[in-house]
Chain A
């Protein structure tokens, strides 16, 4: 259960890769050598690592259309582990190298194979693999934080802090913990009182100060709508409960209960944080891959736990809701040198008509740049981005009373400069993407009642609960064109 080496490699477009950080674990290497015997393959020097890694990930020679070592169709890149093909006699390979890519950063580690090297053991039979994956995920959070791309100087300072982080979480190649996510500084922490109660290893001290428990429920809704009888619309919802508990005590007990309205469809695929102390079997039974069973357990869902100091994801779930919050139709017709556009968006009556924001983005691909745009909207404003061939329909905070909004008009593509391209959206294959956020609403109806949060501690804490619905990958496809299949569930 160890890793042999760890790398952070950066590769900016058009440049060769660069090792930004690396760490080798020689005692693990010693074991690797002894385990593999004559089939031992040493870890190459850092100077050759980027080239090998980028070749395997298909990131070298971007200007060449076909390079056999990179593009061979029989080399299957469908595993979290890749193999590095080393130069030199024997063409030996280094396996299994786990990699995580975020933007221009590649994190990689090489788990120890505690098995005879031939035949190559299955990945799940190696204990080090999941530990390596967990370590890399933690490292990713530590280096990149919640944002997509950290600023260069921020990244540099986080990289500089890595040696001392590794000293704690992986001193001798054996992962003990994951690095703390970037920017997570717990508030007032006092050292453990040192009584008989053992301090959890995932909690550096105890909270001192005002007791506050915040529970935030976020649901995301995804949808693919086709407005066609041949293609069924699909949508699904997934939710997560984020908690931050500032409560005194070494192992304070907190219970959060999620409830569904009467007739609500059960929460499925529930995954919980390791700090949850016990689970009722019925909570886990509903599973999205199963036939829907309306008689299944539908709450209340109790999660007793002892919180860590930092913000954490208590649990997540998926849910199947009967209707999408916004039902749309999109019709696009090609006429000579312009397109006729017709969009209708209907807000479902069960959804609260009070948005923080709501926008529909209508991109046009594989066309010349837009000329004149003659489009009317029944509600909200229209913004035209000619250089991006994009219409942005800002619906604002509310749909009109009728709960229906329309957009109609024509778009001319008179320019001679080619606009953005997309291999998927050719001909009349086109989509609208919706972006919206509704505070204080969940589609599944799931909620955390403030009074249902129980905290067993001396001081009565302030309890804050919130919920929200946010769109994610919410597409409405043009019904006059072909649209790609987006989920296996609909082919059944």
Chain B
């Protein structure tokens, strides 16, 4: 595998999931590697473009702070300036990357030197129009520079507001294809400058003119609009300059921009038009009629972005640019384009949305809701009638639009023919479903039903017919049960009027009752039970027949003997809803019979028990108490104490996770226990003297690893506490099971941890998480918990991720307790020598230097290395430190203080750890010097 392939793999992995990728390395080291490779002369441009793409797309991941961002930008800049002239593509990519880094790490917002230099360089580049000497090949560099400047102006509006004259001249001079870039840059600068001026009170003619004539530096301070300046169609009030300013010059500039707009690509043209519309809207001295000359061309355009810009113009200027006739004409064209055979589906869908949100000159309502323009009549919309030949999105979109059209008419009192045609369409869809239409057809048809019903559920005749048809279909296709239940539920939620849903469910109940017994096969029965369970929830539907049917089926079939748990559970689920039914007393005896029958005859102990329990509840409690016991109490507030039914047949699904509720809030969290500084007492005080015989301690040491599992584990201690804000419902939680998921493959699976209880007002319990690394890299764990609350309900909740840093995996040298210092030192030296001589072959040595302040070195060693010290010769200013990392890695440090710097010699038997060691040392020494300076 070549280096390029290797990088290709790594970068693909990074782009697919930066978080997973960075779990195996550090950001600093990855960034350093990237920049290192970029600086190599040997690497080809293709590889370098790939490397740059990481910074281009994820600058904030690799540069988490402004200072790293600035350093990275400087690095890239130096790579950029050393690049041969022919590497055009690479240069452009680097320019974009620098711009992204500078903007995203807030170098631009905080006005750093690097941002300033970069801006100067970009501006010089766009001014250097002499690139003919290198042929046209250098053009992309200038185009990219323009794009970068435009992005910087967007993110810091007004930055170019004092350079408009220069930009205007550049735009005028440019006759190559690049004039589009200059034109867009200039227009954006102009619009922002005017927008900023509208914030100012009393604008004089001079101030207004000085915008156009500006030829000074970058306006760093003018960033008054911020990143969040909205386009004018989103503003309640369009900012405007005062009346009476002299607009002659601006007007001629606008005219020339409009005249040349034709030379821009359609997408860029649409962007230009939008900027110009905003300018005209802000400057009272400019008349919208400026655009008149462009209108016809725009009305006829086949380009979606230009048509959209035209609608924006319409929205902004209404009747000051568009007559009533224009409006009518534009709307007709929209209807025409919304079904044009040569346009693509997404575009047509978009045009239909545009009809629903058509900017009328005189809108009746101004809410953002879908509402039809008054001009859309049934006649006009007829061509958008949905048909069975449409793709599903088009069909649903058309149906919705046509429903709105005919609803208007229906409101006027008559049930028009249009509605019956829509109804016929729905029936045609159902006919296809009835002929075994595919899943997609079924789903689309139910969506169509939903749209139709939400508009026309009031038309009784039609909605009754629909119910008949649906029940009729159900009798042949019981697998439609979940779709039908879903429809009943959604319509009920949506209309606040349960009538239609109740009618449908009553119809389905009747349909099941009337089925010949042969059709009640095991397979169909499970669908029917689902429906009956839903039917039993409706207080307005009598349930006697349901009970008779269930009893009948159980008595006259071999279901009881077969004792299938799932079927039994589904029957009980119906019973459970029946228990809560308000008119239970009318069917009391029948239900009791049914439950008793199950409890005696059903050949499954669990089902028998549940049935007996329900029977007891039914026969011993009043209805109020019964429902109280059964109530799930999901509707906010404290749940009823111990609702036994929570563990009962309630959920379809499998037995194992009956009703585990899910909460999206963090209920619990794990907080690292702060170790009291390493208790190294065990070895330091009373060490066993090396007894007479001279042992080879290394052999002893290595011998230990013969014992399976020796030294393979790191134990981390956490307190399990409540997360900050939670419901009082979770104040006391019980039988917590913590489950850990690894985000990478560097560790073996972490076993679940069980904790009896956590109370908010008590001391948090401590949990020990045992990690077994394959590779001792930093990691982070996804933690979830299943627990019960006082009301007996079970919950599943995520905990905040737990991250395990590199030093947390350090262990002291695992020698038997009371081993003497000499033994340790002997082992240390052996490993050191082995590593130095390259044994094992993953060994490596390295050096790290830093400059400690006076006494800080000793402090540093005390705070960070105390438990890992092998020797401590403070007098000679020299220390030896050993970190053991499971499964069997060692990091050895020899720290000596030279005159002006501390040297840390590093040896390890696994070179892959070096980046982590490096960033760890960096980290602690940074802190040390900062503490010192603070003090």
Contact = CB atoms under 8 A, between A and B. Distances in A.
Nearest to B151: A172
A80 B346 contact: yes
Interface in A186-216: 191-192, 194-204
Contacts of A274: 266, 269, 301-303, 306
B17 interface: yes
Give the interface residue-count category, chain B: 35 or more
A121 to B, nearest CB: 6
Contact of B267 (A88, A131, A287): A131
Contacts of B676: none
Most buried by A among B342, B368, B421: B342
A35 interface: yes
Interface string B841-862: 0000000000000000000000
A342 B341 CA distance: 32
Interface string A20-45: 00111111011100110000000001
Contacts of A279: 296-297, 299-300
A89 B99 contact: no
Given A71-B486, A199-B176, A176 B387 contact: no
Given A46-B15, A122-B368, A176-B180, A289 B387 contact: no
A151 interface: no
B926 interface: no
A81 to B, nearest CB: 9
A203 B154 contact: no
Contacts of A130: 270, 304-305, 307-309, 350
Contact of B296 (A35, A284, A316): A284
Interface in B150-186: 150-151, 154-155, 174-177, 179-180, 184
Nearest to B100: A26
A308 B85 CA distance: 30
Contacts of A453: none
A343 B303 CA distance: 43
B640 interface: no
A485 B425 contact: yes
Given A27-B151, A194-B176, A288-B336, A134 B300 contact: no
A474 to B, nearest CB: 13
Most buried by A among B143, B233, B267, B329: B267
A444 interface: no
Contacts of A136: 346
Given A66-B483, A201-B263, A114 B234 contact: yes
A313 B175 CA distance: 27
B672 to A, nearest CB: 22
B368 A289 contact: no
Nearest to B479: A65
Contacts of A362: none
Nearest to B425: A485
Interface stretch (B111-119, B435-443, B763-771, B810-818): B435-443
A45 B370 CA distance: 33
B665 A269 contact: no
B450 A73 contact: yes
B439 A284 contact: no
B304 A134 contact: yes
Contact of A272 (B300, B315, B385, B418): B300
Interface string B314-339: 01000000000000010011011100
A262 interface: no
Interface string B626-663: 00000000000000000000000000000000000000
Contacts of A35: 227-228, 230
B823 interface: no
B341 A26 contact: no
- The SS class assigned to the B binding surface is helix
Contacts of B345: 80
B382 A488 contact: yes
Nearest to B229: A114
B346 A278 contact: no
A272 B301 contact: yes
Interface in A449-473: 472
B231 A77 contact: no
Interface residues of A, number: 124
Given A73-B487, A129-B350, A271 B266 contact: no
A244 interface: no
A99 B346 contact: yes
B571 interface: no
Interface in B445-463: 446-447, 449-451
A387 B311 CA distance: 53
Contacts of A284: 296, 299-300, 329, 333
B383 A58 contact: no
A130 B354 CA distance: 11
Given A78-B396, A164-B89, A484 B388 contact: yes
Interface string B286-300: 000000000011011
B265 interface: yes
Nearest to B338: A289
B189 interface: no
Given A47-B16, A176-B180, A200-B177, A127 B231 contact: yes
A116 B230 CA distance: 9
A238 B309 CA distance: 26
A478 interface: no
Most buried by A among B230, B308, B482: B308
B93 A167 contact: yes
Most buried by A among B57, B60, B233, B341: B341
B387 A74 contact: no
Contact of A114 (B15, B231, B308): B231
B353 A123 contact: yes
Nearest to A492: B382
Contact of A131 (B60, B305, B450): B305
Interface in B368-400: 368, 370, 379-389, 392-394, 396-397, 399-400
A276 interface: yes
21 contacts: A30-B227, A71-B482, A73-B447, A78-B396, A125-B357, A130-B304, A137-B346, A171-B92, A176-B268, A192-B176, A197-B175, A199-B177, A199-B263, A269-B336, A271-B301, A271-B302, A285-B329, A423-B436, A484-B388, A486-B389, A487-B385
Interface of B: 15-20, 49, 53, 56-60, 89, 92-93, 96, 99-100, 103-104, 132, 136, 140, 143-144, 147-148, 150-151, 154-155, 174-177, 179-180, 184, 226-228, 230-231, 233-234, 260, 262-271, 274, 296-297, 299-309, 311-312, 315, 329, 332-333, 335-337, 340-347, 349-350, 353-354, 356-357, 368, 370, 379-389, 392-394, 396-397, 399-400, 402, 417-418, 421, 424-425, 428, 432-433, 435-441, 443, 446-447, 449-451, 479, 482-483, 486-487, 490, 493-494, 664-666, 798
Given A75-B447, A318-B336, A489-B382, 14 more contacts: A24-B58, A27-B99, A27-B154, A30-B227, A73-B447, A79-B393, A130-B350, A131-B270, A133-B347, A177-B268, A201-B268, A222-B341, A271-B301, A274-B302
Which 4 A/B pairs are nearest by Cβ-Cβ distance? A488-B385, A130-B308, A201-B180, A271-B302
